[in-house]
């Protein structure tokens, strides 16, 4: 079993969904965990409660990743509490689906790119500045960047841009033995738009029919890969993008 004892991990957008699953996995492996949220204080506190029950060290920090000064504050509070930053997971993001190219609005474009691109860029930038030598930086991307899906031009485009930054950053700070990688999940069950989507929805059925294994990606599937990228096992894996979708066409 991997151990993250004495390591400190920041996971942005970790009050629910993928971020929550990764935070709780890292806590189970002994890491000090920093829960980040922008609005949902109640959900963040619930995750903190879960992690404390594991006897792991945890704090929650409210910070909007679209504001560079708040990202800096997030890292500052982490170092104040634990003295170091060893693992950073840039997970915070929002979705926009089933909106054709001819129909998305400027407001929709700005909101998605502000969170998914600007937020990821400034999180990765601050991680590069503050992470300890030998640290791990992980970006959560989307399978829409590898399998273009109609109606997801804005969302897929916003998730593709930081993947390029991952490759650049891996080269720029590799001399510090810091690895930088991205995880590319397929559609993830019970997160984001799939929290409210009925199993009878034609779009859900289409995604399910495209999966050879007959299911969507789970949060634990993604947490498994996040564990690998955070562990010593991936010490010579950097600048890479790992697709986690069970060979689905999506």
Q: Find the catalytic residue in 26, 155, 218, 234.
A: 155
Q: Tell me if residue 3 is catalytic.
A: no
Q: Find the catalytic residue in 38, 142, 238, 248.
A: 142
Q: Tell me if residue 55 is catalytic.
A: no
**Contact assessment for residue 158 and residue 117, using Cβ atoms and an 8 Å cutoff:** yes
Q: Find the catalytic residue in 14, 38, 141, 158.
A: 141
* CA–centroid distance for 70 within its chain: 18
Q: Find the catalytic residue in 159, 182, 234, 238.
A: 159
Q: Tell me if residue 158 is catalytic.
A: no
Q: Distance (Å, rounded) from C-alpha 162 to C-alpha 164?
A: 5
Q: Tell me if residue 155 is catalytic.
A: yes
Which of 78, 14, 93 has its CA nearest to residue 46?
14
Active-site residues, by number, are 141-142, 155, 159
């Amino acid at each position: 079993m991997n151990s993250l004892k004495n390591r400190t991990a920041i996971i942005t957008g970790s009050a629910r969904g993928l971020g929550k699953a990764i935070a709780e996995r890292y806590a189970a492996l002994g890491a000090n965990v920093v829960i980040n949220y922008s609005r949902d204080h109640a959900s963040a506190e619930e995750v903190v409660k879960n992690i404390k029950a594991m006897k792991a060290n945890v704090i929650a920090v409210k910070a909007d990743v679209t504001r560079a000064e708040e990202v800096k504050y997030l890292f500052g509070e982490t170092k104040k509490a634990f003295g170091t930053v060893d693992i950073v997971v840039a997970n915070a993001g929002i979705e926009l689906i089933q909106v054709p190219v001819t129909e998305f609005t400027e407001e929709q474009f700005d909101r998605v790119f502000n969170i998914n691109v600007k937020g990821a860029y400034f999180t990765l930038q601050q991680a590069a500045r503050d992470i300890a030598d030998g640290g791990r930086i992980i970006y959560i991307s989307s399978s829409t960047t590898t399998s273009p899906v109609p109606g997801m031009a804005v969302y897929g485009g916003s998730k593709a841009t930081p993947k390029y930054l991952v490759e650049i950053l891996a080269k720029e700070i590799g001399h510090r033995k810091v690895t930088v990688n991205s995880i590319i999940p397929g559609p993830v069950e019970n997160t984001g738009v799939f929290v409210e989507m009925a199993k009878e929805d034609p779009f859900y059925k289409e995604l399910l029919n495209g999966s050879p294994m007959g299911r969507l990606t789970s949060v634990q599937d993604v947490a498994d890969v996040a564990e690998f990228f955070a562990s010593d096992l991936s010490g010579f894996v950097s600048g890479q993008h790992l697709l986690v979708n069970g060979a689905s066409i999506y």
